[in-house]
């Protein structure tokens, strides 16, 4: 994890990483994030985070009407760090050959967690 200037806005797609869990939740767009009431009403822990297609990390802060507003942090992840998260997620789901998993970008690595796109793996 590295420190970088806080990003101006989220670059989609993104993933939610829940503290201490290998499971990742894929979010394809701002519209998908805003429409997902289960994600908006979820009570996030301090170390849960949203990671965008550039590797930028956002904290998940409650706001008015019990909605969640991702707040930029000065932290980011490298492609290798995101791939490790994706490998753990896919291993939990029972996928084979994850050690050889590669992606040319963070956005491509995140896309591998999209359960609705079977050809991303």
Any domain includes 78: yes
Does residue 38 surpass a pLDDT of 90? no
pLDDT top residue among 97 and 80? 80
Any domain includes 121: no
Task: For residues 70-99, give the mean pLDDT.
Answer: 91
> Per-residue DSSP letters for 32-88?
HHHH-HHHHH----TT-EEEETT-EEEEEEE-GGG-EEEEEEEEE--HHHHHHHHHH
Any domain includes 68: yes
Q: What is the pTM of this model?
A: 0.87
The 3-state DSSP class for residue 26 equals strand
pLDDT in tens, 112-121: 999 876 544 4
CATH of residue 108: 2.40.10.320
Indicate the number of domains in the chain.
Answer: 1
Supply the mean pLDDT for the chain: 87
Does residue 31 surpass a pLDDT of 60? yes
User: Using CA atoms, how far apart are residues 39 and 68, in angstroms rounded to an integer?
Assistant: 8
Q: Which residue range is the domain that position 31 belongs to? A: 2-116
């Amino acid at each position: 994890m590295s420190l970088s200037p806080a990003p101006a806005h989220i670059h989609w797609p993104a993933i939610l990483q829940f503290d201490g869990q290998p499971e990742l939740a894929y979010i394809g767009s701002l519209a998908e994030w805003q429409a997902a009431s289960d994600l908006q009403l979820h009570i996030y822990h301090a170390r849960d985070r949203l990671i965008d297609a550039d590797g930028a990390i956002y904290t998940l802060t409650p706001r008015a009407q019990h909605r969640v507003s991702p707040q930029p942090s000065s932290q980011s992840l490298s492609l290798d760090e995101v791939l490790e998260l994706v490998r753990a997620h896919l291993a939990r789901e029972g996928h084979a050959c994850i050690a050889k998993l590669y992606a040319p970008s963070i956005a491509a690595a995140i896309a591998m967690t999209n359960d609705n796109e079977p050809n991303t793996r």
